[in-house]
Amino acid sequence: MKAIRYWRYGAPDVLELVTLDEPFAGPDEVRVRLKAAGVSPIDAKLRSGALQAHFSLAFPKIPGRDGAGVIDQIGEGVTGFSIGDEVCVAADPAGSGTYAEAIVCASSRVVKKPANLSISQAAALLQPGVSAWISMYRTATLSAGMSVLIHGGAGAVGSQMIQLARHLGLNVTTTCRAQNIDYVLGLGAHRAVAYDREDFGLLRHIDVVFDLIGGETHARSYQVLKAGGQLVYLTAMPFENQAEKYGVTVTRAMISDAPEALHAVSRLAAEGVLTPGVMATLPLAAAADAHRRFEAGQVTRGRIVLNMGDGG
Ligand SMILES: NC(=O)c1ccc[n+]([C@@H]2O[C@H](COP(=O)([O-])OP(=O)(O)OC[C@H]3O[C@@H](n4cnc5c(N)ncnc54)[C@H](OP(=O)(O)O)[C@@H]3O)[C@@H](O)[C@H]2O)c1
């Protein structure tokens, strides 16, 4: 099979297209013939070595957290799946990834593909969807009518957060670059603040801020919250906890591929609540280009998706 892999941390150039033997499904595992792989920020951060303190990688490493394809082999003890099922895959960040024509993974990391999504959308669903779902359903305390500020609403996670927030009956303000205002309003945001033209720090009385940006954005988010408000973050380096000063709570959303979250996200997509963004599709062989575009800040309105269809 064709796959992308790397032998050491480094720039996108370490990604190489290779031909490997097919993997075989062991007990409790399935093999998925992948048709598409989503390119996530974590794929680039792992490759660069920026996450060495959090994940220990075995080299050579096949990158890729998200994928979609068809089950073509089922290991002993697997229930609930059949050969031929179309599925979405949430690959272990430290294990073998989805930038390949096939992956073997635990069946608990696979969910049925929502029939209403294209294969590219399906490959862009789970990693951002689970990040949004855990932040909103398992980290924040939300009820209909609350006001939320979602930073980075034009990104893959932020765009799914906007859709979930509308589903929950929240009043949604989001930040994005000026050229994406129509996009985030189209996703359901009530109000958009262009971070390259306006100052979100002038907002007030927000119940919950979701921070996907960190740094200065994180530091300035406390002042927009009402007393007793909540700041939930996924990324906040450098992190300075100002909760006591502002009388708010601050909580990091602990993202994992819990089966509960994977199934909830796929169900919400099947119901039409969540539609993942796909910015562009590229052939598998263009993985390094996709990482370069991410590192240049050129990825917006969802994921770049790598397609296996042309054989690499
Ligand atoms: N801790 C975890 O487990 C976890 C899980 C998921 C994601 N994350 C992190 O969360 C971040 C977002 O992930 P993602 O997948 O959504 O990334 P993404 O698709 O690359 O989106 C990032 C978005 O950030 C926006 N942005 C950049 N600067 C901004 C600013 N100053 N204010 C508001 N928005 C700004 C951009 O918006 P425009 O396009 O409008 O410029 C871009 O669309 C990444 O850093 C990722 O690593 C962490």
pLDDT per residue as tens digits for the range 218-229: 999 999 999 999
pLDDT of residue 238: 75
Cα–Cα distance for residue pair 281/256, rounded to 1 Å: 26
3-state secondary structure 83-136: CCCEEEEECCCCCCCCCECEEEEEHHHEEECCCCCCHHHHCCCHHHHHHHHHHH
Q: Give the distance (Å) from ligand 1 centre to CA of residue 58.
A: 27
Rounded to the nearest whole angstrom, what is the distance from the C-alpha of residue 79 to the centroid of ligand 1? 36
pLDDT at 60: 98
Neighbours of 273 (CB within 10 A): 15
Rounded Cα distance, 53 and 220, in Å: 27
The yes or no reply on domain 2-125+277-307 and CATH 3.90.180.10 is yes
Task: Enter the tokens of residue 79.
Answer: 């229930």
Query: Residue range 252-274: average pLDDT?
Result: 97
Ligand 1 atom 10: residue of nearest CA = 212
Predicted TM-score of the model (pTM): 0.97
Phi and psi at 286, nearest 5°, equal: -95, 20
Evaluate if residue 310 carries a pLDDT over 80: no
Of 186, 183, 191, give the one whose Cα is nearest residue 154. 183
Average pLDDT over residues 127-151: 98
**Gap between the Cα atoms of 193 and 264, Å rounded:** 30
Domain ranges of the chain: 2-125+277-307, 128-252
Which one-letter amino acid corresponds to residue 8? R
- Could you tell me the distance, in angstroms and rounded to a whole number, from the CA of residue 248 to the centre of ligand 1? 23
* Choice between 210 and 241, residue whose per-residue pLDDT is larger: 210
What is the arithmetic mean of pLDDT over 78-93?
98
Task: Name the average pLDDT for the chain.
Answer: 96
> What pLDDT, on a 0 to 100 scale, did the predictor assign at position 170?
98
Same fold, 2-125+277-307 and 128-252: no
Tell whether the model's pLDDT for residue 288 goes beyond 60. yes
| pLDDT-based confidence at residue 15 (cuts at 50, 70, 90) | very high
Per-residue model confidence (pLDDT) at position 154: 98
Question: Ligand 1 pocket: which of 131, 159, 163 to mutate (most atoms <8 Å of CB)?
Answer: 131
Task: Measure the CA–CA gap between 271 and 312, rounded to whole angstroms.
Answer: 33
- Name the residue of 177, 183, 203 whose CB sits within 8 Å of the most ligand 1 atoms, as the mutation to test its pocket: 177
Task: Please report the pLDDT score of residue 309 as a whole number.
Answer: 80
Q: Rounded to the nearest whole angstrom, what is the distance from the C-alpha of residue 155 to the centroid of ligand 1?
A: 5
Q: How far is Cα 138 from Cα 276, in angstroms, rounded to an integer?
A: 20
Write the DSSP assignment of the chain as a string of letters. Answer: -EEEEBSSS-SGGG-EEEE-PPP---TTEEEEEEEEEEE-HHHHHHHHTTTTTT--PPSSB---SEEEEEEEEE-TT--S--TT-EEEEE--TTS--SSBSEEEEEGGGEEEPPTTS-HHHHTTTHHHHHHHHIIIIIIS---TT-EEEETTTTSHHHHHHHHHHHHTT-EEEEEE-GGGHHHHHHHT-SEEEETTTS-GGG---EEEEEESS-HHHHHTTGGGEEEEEEEEES--SSP---HHHHT-EEEE------HHHHHHHHHHHHTTS----EEEEEEGGGHHHHHHHHHTT---SSEEEEE-TT--
For residue 234, the CA-to-ligand 1 centroid distance in Å is: 9
Distance from Cα 233 to the centre of ligand 1, integer Å: 11
| Cα–Cα dist 111/68, whole Å | 10
The predicted pLDDT at position 61 comes to 98
Q: State mean pLDDT over 287-298.
A: 97
| Token digits of residue 98 | 């989805």
Q: Crossing angle, helix 287-295 and helix 41-48, to 10 degrees? A: 90
Mean pLDDT of 257-271: 98
* Closest C-alpha to 172, from 219, 208, 131: 208
Q: Atom 23, ligand 1: which residue's CA is nearest?
A: 155
Residues with CB under 6 A from ligand 1: 40-42, 128, 131, 151-152, 154-158, 175-177, 180, 195, 212-213, 217, 234-235, 255, 299-300
Q: What pLDDT shows up at residue 311?
A: 40
Name the architecture of domain 128-252.
3-Layer(aba) Sandwich (3.40)
Of 29, 35, 24, 20, residue with least CA distance to 66: 35
Nearest CA to ligand 1 atom 41: 177
Q: How far is the CA of 196 from the centre of ligand 1 (A)?
A: 15
